[in-house]
């Protein structure tokens, strides 16, 4: 298969895009499904690489995954292999989430080292500590993580940072643990709540408390369940920006307004008009865009995954914009490509555009100052990760001259049929 796109700017992008469920949600639902006594069905499933990888991982431990258009059914394993093969090392971060479920099913587990986008430190120590709190014996090696226990038991799990992955891991591990568990400092992102709701449909007893606390009363068994995934808020924002940056207008269908509250207001502050109804949202900027200062944060703040398309939008907004990244310390790996395309962006290790964050006084480059309006031009670019990939695409769509983007498999790992969607909006895109 081709792993490069040739993009020729073709004017304003216009049209309609329907987004499916989030890759960050569907894979966690698939993991939860192996703990049920009976099959679970998930609908509104995106066609993304992470779904295929996760399906192969689940099949390796003995589950059966049936896939159809926009739907998949997970049949829990009759005979469980608790050892995830080393061949899945470094592909994504899903294996570490299997530790708790496999311990419930067999009393032991091994998962290989995790992978995923190179956007900064995403240590597994939060996951490991949560499992140790629940009574598991853990050994971390260069190859991966081995765990063993006779039975997980409820515990108070203190997360030093509201990590999405660690919260999801704790939810999966506590659902069948004996007794009550409390996750303190939990992440509250929509994808986390989606997983909690799905587990509740499976029979888990979960309560959401104030101050980032989640209480789980362990139950003896879970059953299969059916759910429809909510629309991908990352993808929705990306397509709204794609319309704005090219002077066009994209109507996004399938993602509820409440999943993009902060993102919508940010665009409005920059001068965009955002029209929202019960089924869709559209963004336009007939009078142009102006600069803004934005700080990323955990939910309900401005999502870190939104900052990659926003950075490109800043290059086409009048004035000096500031972006302060507070979630991952190495999120700006994609900026070099934008600079190569003419984006006037300077990076700093200082905390700019907001109060001091946890990277204060570190050497992490986590603030950017962007001068608009930059005259973008086509270039040859290597894509380093999923979100960076889309930023390169929309920069190429707004540039003068053709661009060649290599490594589009990263993009296809996280976006549903991106080439097809972009062509439907009028982008001249050829695979090479």
Q: What is the dihedral of CA 249, 253, 256, 260, to 10 degrees?
A: -30
Cα-based angle 154, 31, 304 (whole degrees, multiple of 5): 90
Please state whether beta strands 180-184 and 367-372 pair in parallel, antiparallel, or not at all (unpaired). Answer: unpaired
Given a contact cutoff of 8 angstroms between Cβ atoms, the answer to whether 55 and 65 are in contact is: yes
- Scanning the structure block, which residue is given the tokens 């292999």? 81
Catalytic annotation, pick one of 3, 50, 78, 117: 117
Q: Which DSSP letter does residue 329 get?
A: T
Given a contact cutoff of 8 angstroms between Cβ atoms, the answer to whether 60 and 84 are in contact is: yes
Query: Can 78 be counted among the known catalytic residues?
Result: no
Angle between helices 164-174 and 125-133 (to 10 degrees): 20
Please state whether beta strands 144-148 and 137-140 pair in parallel, antiparallel, or not at all (unpaired). Answer: antiparallel
Assigned token pair, 248 = 């066009």
Distance between CA 329 and CA 92 in Å, rounded? 19
Bridge partners for 226 per DSSP: 41
So which residues are the catalytic ones? 117
């Amino acid at each position: 298969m081709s792993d490069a796109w040739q993009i020729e700017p073709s004017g304003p992008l216009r049209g309609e895009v329907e987004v499916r469920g989030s890759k960050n949600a569907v894979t966690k639902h698939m993991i939860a499904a192996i703990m049920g006594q009976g099959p679970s069905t998930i609908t509104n499933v995106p066609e993304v690489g992470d779904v295929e990888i996760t399906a192969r991982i689940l099949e390796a431990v003995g589950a059966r995954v049936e896939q159809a258009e926009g739907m998949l059914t997970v049949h829990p394993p009759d005979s469980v292999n608790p050892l995830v093969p080393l061949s899945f090392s470094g592909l994504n971060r899903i294996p570490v989430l299997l530790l708790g479920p496999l311990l419930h099913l067999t009393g032991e587990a091994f998962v290989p080292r995790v992978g995923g986008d190179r956007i900064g430190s995403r240590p597994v120590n939060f996951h490991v500590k949560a499992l140790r709190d629940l009574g598991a014996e853990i050994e971390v090696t260069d190859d991966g993580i081995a765990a063993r226990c006779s039975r997980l038991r409820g515990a108070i799990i203190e997360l030093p940072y509201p990590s999405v992955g660690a919260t999801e891991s704790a939810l999966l591990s506590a659902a069948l643990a004996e007794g009550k568990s409390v996750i303190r400092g939990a992440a509250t992102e929509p994808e986390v709540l989606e997983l909690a709701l799905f587990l509740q449909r499976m029979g888990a007893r979960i309560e959401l408390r104030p101050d980032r606390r989640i209480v789980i009363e362990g139950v003896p068994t879970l059953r299969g369940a059916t759910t429809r995934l909510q629309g991908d808020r990352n993808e929705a924002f990306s397509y709204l920006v794609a319309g704005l940056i090219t002077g066009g207008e994209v109507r996004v269908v399938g993602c509820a307004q409440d999943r993009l509250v902060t993102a919508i207001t940010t665009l409005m502050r920059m001068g965009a008009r955002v029209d929202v109804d019960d089924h869709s949202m559209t963004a336009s900027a007939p009078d142009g865009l102006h600069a803004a200062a934005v700080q990323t944060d955990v939910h309900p703040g401005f999502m870190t995954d939104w900052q990659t398309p926003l950075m490109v939008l800043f290059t086409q907004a009048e004035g000096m914009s500031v972006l302060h990244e507070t979630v991952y310390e190495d999120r700006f790996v994609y900026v070099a490509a934008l600079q190569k395309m003419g984006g006037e962006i300077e990076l700093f290790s200082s905390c700019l555009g907001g109060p001091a964050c946890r990277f204060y006084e570190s050497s992490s480059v986590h603030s950017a100052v962007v001068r608009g309006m930059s005259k973008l031009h086509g270039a040859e670019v290597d894509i380093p990760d999923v979100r960076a990939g889309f930023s390169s695409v929309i920069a190429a769509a707004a540039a003068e001259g053709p661009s060649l983007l290599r490594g589009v498999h990263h993009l296809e790992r996280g976006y549903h049929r991106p080439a097809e969607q972009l062509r439907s909006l009028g982008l001249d895109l050829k695979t090479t």
